[in-house]
């Protein structure tokens, strides 16, 4: 299994709101300075 690549320098989170079954959820995507998405996850609350 390939190892995940290390982020290129600092990274930041992009947050998008979406509705699932009538409830608001938040999609979080950490993105490095090269624009590569490192991961993604969904929460019911803002972090």
> Kind and range of the H or E element at 30?
strand 23-32
In a domain, 39, yes or no: yes
Its domain, for residue 18, covers 11-43
**Averaged pLDDT, groups of 10, the chain, 47 residues long:** 69 91 93 88 85
In a domain, 19, yes or no: yes
In a domain, 2, yes or no: no
Instruction: Tell me what pLDDT residue 16 has.
Output: 94
Instruction: Give the Cα separation of 11 and 14 in Å (integer).
Output: 10
Instruction: Give the Cα separation of 27 and 47 in Å (integer).
Output: 11
In a domain, 1, yes or no: no
In a domain, 27, yes or no: yes
**pTM confidence score:** 0.68
What letter does residue 34 receive in the DSSP assignment?
A: T
Instruction: Tell me what pLDDT residue 35 has.
Output: 87
Our count of domains for the chain comes to 1
Instruction: Tell me what pLDDT residue 32 has.
Output: 87
């Amino acid at each position: 299994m390939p190892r995940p690549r290390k982020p290129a320098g600092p990274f930041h989170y992009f947050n998008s709101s979406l509705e699932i079954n009538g409830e608001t959820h938040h999609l979080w995507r950490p993105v490095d300075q090269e624009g590569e998405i490192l991961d993604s996850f969904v929460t019911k609350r803002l972090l």
